[in-house]
Amino acid sequence: MSPPKSSSRQGAGRVLVTGAGGFVGRALVAELAARERLVRAAVRRVGPTASSVAVAPGAQFVQIGALASSTDWRPALDDVDSVVHCAARVHVMHEKAMDPLAEFRRANVEGTLQLARQAAEAGVRRFIFLSSIGVNGAETFDKPFDPDDVPAPHSAYALAKHEAELGLRALSASSGLELVIIRPPLVVGPGAPGNLDRLTRALHRRLPMPFGAVDNRRSFVARANLVDLVATCLDHPSAAGQTFLASDGEDISTTALLNALAKALGRSARLVPVPVAWLTAVARLAGRPQVVQQLCGSLQVDISKTRGLLGWSPVVRLTDALEEVGREFLAHASR
């Protein structure tokens, strides 16, 4: 196994970004290239998405295939100083797998550890793993989550992320590979998948939504803020061996989020004040209690450690990120 590359090369070595065709990875490649970093963008298959990534100055892309225990990362790791692992099997609305946990483990645990092992063997210096705030838990009550909380993963996805973290820590301890773990909550930005996309479309169509009585507090992280945090962790001497939580540093209610997003779309949110207890009961009957939890429960994140240890602060406000979501959505809707 090759020793990790000398810290004297910090800021000069090539960065491998996995999941470079995805929502976060795509933005990260563009930002690192704009900062004149040498970037290799790993994509599942060559196509229009990969080509759009590759045109970023200083970036090149490599087809890597599926994320699995058998994936051969060695060609992609040639002359790489740092790895940012964004690729993952993510939540799906209509899960078709007979055993979702097994599928999450296959990609997000076995696939991640395969990459990390080969990175260590190639002498990679630092490995940044994009995990999930779900490792901490699903909901906060009396205090925000912090990095030292006892993990309480609440879903198959979060459990697999936690298992990947444990495996990475063990590998780091035995190999000298510098490990940085980042746990973001919901990431906000143009083209964000999942709940944010569904809410944006509903607001644009002026559909009434039963969230007028929700008085929760949730943390989000703008994609620009997450990308800036990752870029900071690439070379910061205090980042090695640490787990950081990410957010915009401002917590708002679902009601406030919807009003701000509607304003960005040039709409007024049609929010009906339905009691949360009623929404919870209906969701349980429908077999979807997690949906109400995600929209009506609180999930706050404490980024004191992230700020203090790294000297980092969010570069954009959540309202700015929501305005960008609205602008991009309207631009595409008008085509």
Please give the CATH number for the structural domain made up of 7-183. 3.40.50.720
Q: What is the residue whose two structure tokens read 């939504």? A: 209
Mean pLDDT to the nearest integer, 127-155: 96
157 is catalytic: yes
Q: What is the pLDDT of residue 289?
A: 82
Burial zone of 253 (CB within 10 Å; 0-12 exposed, 13-18 middle, 19+ buried): middle
CA distance 256 to 248: 15
* 37 or 335, which is more confident: 37
Q: What is the pLDDT of residue 11?
A: 54
Mean pLDDT to the nearest integer, 28-46: 91
Q: Are 325 and 258 in contact (CB under 8 A)?
A: no
Which of the residues 23, 104, 127, 157 is marked catalytic? 157
Over residues 303-326, the pLDDT tens digits come to 999 999 999 999 999 999 999 999
pTM listed for this prediction:
0.92
CA distance 86 to 128: 9
Mean pLDDT to the nearest integer, 59-72: 90
Beta-carbon contacts of 185 under 8 Å, excluding residues fewer than 6 positions away, are 133, 218, 219, 220, 221, 246, 247, 299, 301
Percent of the chain residues past pLDDT 90, beyond the cut: 80
Q: What is the pLDDT of residue 162?
A: 98
Q: Using the CB atoms, write b or e for 136-175: b if 16+ within 10 Å.
A: bbbbbeeebbebeeeeebebbbbbbbbbbbebbeebbeeb
- Rg of the chain taking only CA atoms, in angstroms: 20
Beta-strand pair 251-252/218-219: antiparallel
59-63, 111-115, 198-202, 311-315 — which is least confidently predicted? Answer: 59-63
What phi and psi values does residue 188 have, to the nearest 5 degrees? -110, 130
Give 232-290 as a DSSP string: HHHH-TTTTTEEEE---S-EE-HHHHHHHHHHHTT----B----HHHHHHHHHHTT-HH
DSSP element (H, E) containing 291: helix 289-296
Q: Closest Cα partner for 87 from 74, 102, 100, 106?
A: 106
pLDDT at 62 over 60: yes
Q: Are 42 and 88 in contact (CB under 8 A)?
A: no
Percent of the chain residues past pLDDT 70, beyond the cut: 90
Beta-carbon contacts of 129 under 8 Å, excluding residues fewer than 6 positions away, are 85, 112, 164, 165, 168, 179, 180, 181, 182
Q: What is the pLDDT of residue 60?
A: 87
pLDDT at 51 over 50: no
Token pair for residue 59?
A: 């970036």
4-13, 23-32, 175-184 — which is least confidently predicted? Answer: 4-13
Q: Closest Cα partner for 81 from 118, 116, 127?
A: 127
pLDDT at 94 over 60: no
pLDDT at 57 over 90: no
Residue type, 104: F
Mean pLDDT to the nearest integer, 98-119: 94
Over residues 147-183, the pLDDT tens digits come to 999 999 999 999 999 999 999 999 999 999 999 999 9
Mean pLDDT of the chain: 91
Q: What is the pLDDT of residue 194?
A: 86
Q: What is the pLDDT of residue 10?
A: 46
pLDDT at 4 over 90: no
Q: Are 209 and 258 in contact (CB under 8 A)?
A: yes
